[in-house]
Structure 1
């Protein structure tokens, strides 16, 4: 009821009642929407799953970068310690240089695969 209706001690007119009913409906609609959002467990679980998936993806990318850097560092160290093809020692081990490179690539792939397995297993625990 409005102040005007109270002052005149009369009942509210139909327009005032319609306005009050419409306002009450709007408030009730907002309340129902808020309650439905809180009760929608499936949507909340999907949002959380998407968030965790993003975190796992970011961690996997970071781990992959670190492993790639480590593989390159190890490759440089091994390359520096192996005889060069032009040196006296390198002449007898020409095929060994190719074998060393192949082993480095294989080691890098193995380390990357191992890291990915660890990341996937950890993500399944969540």
Structure 2
């Protein structure tokens, strides 16, 4: 640490120098202990490796199941199309076209007959709804859940 006192003032460290040396030694010792503890903590390292391995396996399984579900849905869609008679498909297409046309006419009628102030307020509300889409969707989902719970309780 320091050289013994030999009657020479320069060889004897001051109390402040001794404090700094002790502080530096403590910091070095702390870093050394941390590094040694990190290497010695084999269980924690093994647990981290196992967790990473399990996470990877779970992701692979999820991707596999997702692909299987997509494939089954595609097959089911094709089966429904194959088993549905052509006249029914034609009628459904005609009905869809009529609904689109009627909705477009109704929208145009409403747009023409709505006062400008109301239209401006509606546009402002629509803009705010688009900007705050996530909270609105969460609120709508919560509302639907509440309605479903109330409905199921009434049936009991």
CA distance in 2, matches of 1:27, 1:83: 79
SS of 2:24's partner is: helix
2:61 is equivalent to residue 44 of structure 1? no
**Alpha-carbon distance in 2 for matches of 1:60, 1:10:** 70
Report the equivalent of 2:57. Answer: 56
Q: Which runs of 5+ in 1 are unaligned?
A: 2-7, 88-126
- The runs of 4+ residues in structure 1 deviating greater than 2 Å are 76-84
Work out the number of aligned pairs and report it: 80
Alignment partner, residue 31 of structure 2: 30
| 1:14 and 2:54 are equivalent in the alignment | no
Task: Find the aligned partners of 1:37 and 1:83 in 2 and give their Cα distance.
Answer: 66
How many Å separate the matches in 2 of 1:83 and 1:57? Answer: 39
Q: CA deviation at 1:56?
A: 1.6
TM-score (norm 1): 0.54
Shift in Å, 1:20: 0.1
CA RMSD of the aligned region, Å? Answer: 2.3
Larger RCO, structure (CA 8 Å, separation 6 or more): 1
The alignment partner of 1:65 has SS state of helix
Larger radius of gyration between Structure 1 and Structure 2: 2
Report how far residue 21 of structure 1 moved: 1.2
What stretches of structure 2 of length at least 5 have no aligned partner?
A: 3-8, 89-156
Does 2:70 correspond to 1:78? no
